[in-house]
Structure formats: structure tokens, C-alpha cells
Amino acid sequence: MKSISRLFNENVSPYKLALLRISLGISVLAEYVLLIYQRSWIDGFYYPFLMVFGLIATMLFIIGYKTKIVSVLNYAFIFINFSFLGAWEYHLDYAFLIISFLLIFLNTSEVLSVDSKLNKKSIRVRNKYFHIFLVMFVGLAFVYLDSILYKFSSGTWMNGLGMWYPAMMPYFGNGNIDFLLNSSALLIP
């Protein structure tokens, strides 16, 4: 009972939310770079200028410049650029969408940001542990629950091809692992 009370009543360090903002931004930035690098394999909605604007919004989000406005822009570009890509999408994109949406409402710019340097205000802790719990639970748990439920209904996963099939796709693998995928020793008779 004490831990539940702590979840709703204790303030969280603003450094944790700032690190969450930075780590999400770096992950989204890496996804943009991968999409731009492998754009010839994308069969769906792809406009380079939207990717560039998404990259700019993500970089501003990472450094914490005009964080509230950029958080909304970052969410919008993640939604536009990752939601309409057809065969490219996977469950991490949904985690990006949910977490970036929830970060719009949290104060992530009090420390480790350009905004904090420009405003030079004292650190005010206003976020509770519940906010971080909500972001992590909703952003990750629901996405992975959906993934687990999908795997139980997918013929590919139920027939044992769930790991093999994505590994054969060139945009999922970073190296040539044909020797491993075609190994008869790894096949279940």
C-alpha cells in the first residue's frame, strides 16, 4: 500500500523525464535514419521532405528547444511518417506514437534542455512517479500485449515461421545470416 501511495504522491526528479525525452528522441532519430537509408524497400507512403521535417523536429526534441511546441510537431511527424508505411511498420512504431503523445503533457524540459538554459528558472518538480509509470505502462505494456495477442492468432507465428520470416526480409536484417537461416541443424523435424 505504501508503494501505491508513493506512486501518486512523491515527486519525480526532472532528470528522469529529461532522459526519457532524450532516449526516445535518439531512438526515433535512428528510425528516421534507417528509413531514409532503406527508402528503396518502402512500399507505401514516403515523402522525403516529410522525413526531413521529422528529423528536424526530432533533433529539436532531443535538445529540448521549445519543447511543448516541438513535442506536438514530433508526435505529428511520427504519426505521419511511421503510420502510413505499409509493410515497414512494426510494434515499436506504436510505442513511439504512444510515448511521444504522452510526453506532450509532461514537463520534460526543466533540465538537460535548451529551454532550461534560456529561461534560467529554478527547477520545479511537478511530475509524479505516476506520470512515468503511465508513460511506460501505456507506451510499452499495451503495445507488447497487442503483439502477444497477434502472435497467437497469426498463422505465421503458429506455424513456427515467426522468427524466420522477418529475418529473411532485407530491411529487418543488418547482415547476411543466410547460413544460419538455412541450417538444417536448427530445423525441428
What is the pLDDT, as a whole number, of residue 110? 80
Q: Residue 174 pLDDT > 70, yes or no?
A: no
Q: Average model confidence (pLDDT) for the chain?
A: 78
65-118 per-position pLDDT tens digit: 999 999 999 999 988 887 776 555 667 778 888 889 888 988 888 888 888 888
How would residue 135 be classed by pLDDT, with cut points 50, 70 and 90?
Answer: confident
Burial class of residue 188 (count of CB atoms within 10 Å of its CB; 0-12, 13-18, 19+): exposed
CA 47, 54, 125: angle at the middle one, nearest 5? Answer: 160
C-alpha grid cell, residue 35? 528509413
How many whole angstroms separate alpha carbon 48 and alpha carbon 59? 16
**8 Å CB contact between 57 and 73:** yes
SS3 assignment, position 11: strand
Q: Mean pLDDT, to the nearest integer, of 44-49? A: 67
How many whole angstroms separate alpha carbon 94 and alpha carbon 114? 28
What is the pLDDT, as a whole number, of residue 61? 95
Distances (CA, A) of 51 to 30, 48, 57, 101, 110: 12, 5, 10, 19, 28
Residues comprising the chain, all counted? 189
What is the pLDDT, as a whole number, of residue 17? 84
Q: pLDDT > 70: what percent of the chain?
A: 71
